[in-house]
Amino acid sequence: MNPSRTPDSLSRTLAGWQVVAPRDPQFRTHVRARLEAQAVAPPWTVYARRYAAAVAGALALAVVFGALTGHERARARVVADSERLATAYVEGLDARAMQLP
Amino acid sequence: MKNFLITLGVVLLACAAAFGVSYLVGADPAMRAAAREGDAMLWLRAEFRPDAAQFAAIKQLHDDYSIACSRHCAAILAARERKAPAGEVAALEKVCVDAMSAHFRRVAALMPPGQGARYLGIVLPRVAGYSHQGAPNVRVTP
């Protein structure tokens, strides 16, 4: 046994030992942030069930909006095609529109 | 956040699918074919839905009229070429307009009920609204 390390000297050392750790005021925040970052997100089906009303509402709105827009665009295209062809039809029979080659 | 983005994606997909289905359902395939081919007779068929007999009769009328139209065209072009007086060209054009309007009325008479008036409502304003602004084109007269 080392004579300099007797139980008495150890007790004295321990009695006089003080740990001075710097305080981190953001310690709790950092810990919480780390925990949240590591948390596993629930599967989408669970998420969708949890927010069922909002998800169903958004889906319904999207379908109605898409359907109305699609129908409107289709009708606009039919009208534009018809206008263009009507003009071509009349001009095809209009001798005034004929030009010298 | 990840689930929110997935939800957003699903919503956008649903919107796009609804748009596509509605666009396809709302489109008129016959009109699209006519536009793609640039075929005015297909347009006539798609727009006014004559039955086969009516369409054949209309087509015959058009074929017959194209001979008269060629005569008018030749007369107008000849007058323009020899720098005929404006009055003479105008008179020839009036003959053309009168013949064309009469032809359109004959075609309208062969259309299904109700479609004839609609046909005349589409073609006659285009005859009246003609302006001498260059070669025939597919611009829509307002």
What are the structure tokens assigned to A29, written together?
A: 């925040």
Query: Residues B102-140: pLDDT tens digits?
Result: 999 999 999 988 899 999 999 999 888 776 544 444 333
The alpha-carbon radius of gyration of chain B (Å, integer) is 23
- Chain B residues near residue A85 by CB distance under 8 angstroms: 31, 34-35, 38-40, 43, 47, 138
List Cβ neighbours of A97 (8 Å cut-off, separation of 6 or more).
A91, B130, B135, B136
Q: Cβ of B123 under 8 Å from any chain A Cβ? A: yes
Query: Residues B11-69: pLDDT tens digits?
Result: 999 999 999 999 999 888 888 889 888 888 999 999 999 999 999 999 999 988 888 88
Unique residue bearing structure tokens 């009036």: B94
Q: How confident is the model at residue A5 (pLDDT cuts 50, 70, 90)?
A: low
- Nearest residue to B1 (alpha-carbon basis) of A41, A13, A23: A41
- The amino acid that residue A59 corresponds to is L
What's the farthest any 2 CA atoms get from each other in chain A?
127
Helices assigned H by DSSP within chain B: 2-26, 29-37, 40-48, 52-81, 86-110, 115-128
Residues A74, B139: C-beta atoms closer than 8 Å: no
Would you tell me how many other CB atoms lie within 10 Å of the CB of residue B72? Answer: 22
B72: left (phi over 0), alpha (psi -120 to 50) or beta: alpha
d(CA B84, CA B92) in angstroms, rounded, equals 11
CA distance to partner chain B, nearest, from residue A94 (Å): 7
Query: Residues A14-48: pLDDT tens digits?
Result: 888 888 888 888 889 999 888 877 777 788 888 88
pTM value surpassing 0.90: no
List Cβ neighbours of A62 (8 Å cut-off, separation of 6 or more).
B11, B12, B14, B15, B18
Q: Cβ of B81 under 8 Å from any chain A Cβ? A: yes
